[in-house]
Chain A
């Protein structure tokens, strides 16, 4: 079974603080996605990283894909209450001509004003 371990599972911080969420696996993925989900809604794709060592920035969010394409991190600078939500990482694996995503268990982030 291919697993993606996310840490921490829960994070409660004050507005303005920085934080990092980690996503680790023993398996290599062809790409890795980060999603953000609000209660009662579907996940929304934030970013896709494909190349080992790749770094992508989305405003205050920085995403990094590990050199070996087994792990990833999400760093948020100066968190805001609007960043509150469930953050999910998902690794892509292909079987034949079909790709599937393996999801981590998620990190629940609460940013207090």
Chain B
């Protein structure tokens, strides 16, 4: 069966510091991968998606970037965090695009 991991689970970082969140998927090959951000109790905003190694599409101009160095690894990064980057970050995978399966999420607090 497929599983998706995210780490860290929680993170507190000062403004201006770098960020690296990691997502890995097990049990499937060549998945589509997605990064979302969620405000408290609200819907999900798509940040990036990837259909293959090195292929990244950005949905929203922002202070973040994404990379896919391996087939089942997706990384979300920032060189300098802003207060507005705080939120709940979710990684998801899919094979057919419309059925997405989510990881446990990372709670990021920028102070």
Contact = CB atoms under 8 A, between A and B. Distances in A.
Given A105-B42, A106-B41, A42 B97 contact: no
A31 B98 contact: yes
Interface of B: 32, 41-46, 49, 51, 57, 59, 90, 92, 94, 96-105, 107
Contacts of A104: 43
30 contacts: A6-B43, A31-B98, A33-B98, A33-B100, A35-B102, A41-B105, A42-B103, A42-B105, A45-B99, A45-B100, A48-B98, A48-B99, A88-B43, A92-B97, A94-B97, A97-B51, A99-B94, A99-B96, A99-B98, A100-B46, A100-B59, A100-B97, A101-B44, A101-B46, A103-B43, A104-B43, A105-B42, A105-B43, A106-B41, A106-B43
A101 B41 contact: no
Nearest to B97: A99
Interface in A77-113: 86, 88, 90, 92, 94, 97-101, 103-106, 108
Contact of A98 (B32, B90, B103, B104): B32
A89 to B, nearest CB: 9
A66 interface: no
Interface string A31-75: 101010000111111001000000000000000000000000000
A64 B96 CA distance: 21
Contacts of A98: 32, 49, 51, 57, 97
Interface SS majority for chain A? strand
A105 B41 CA distance: 8
A90 B38 CA distance: 14
A30 interface: yes
B5 to A, nearest CB: 11
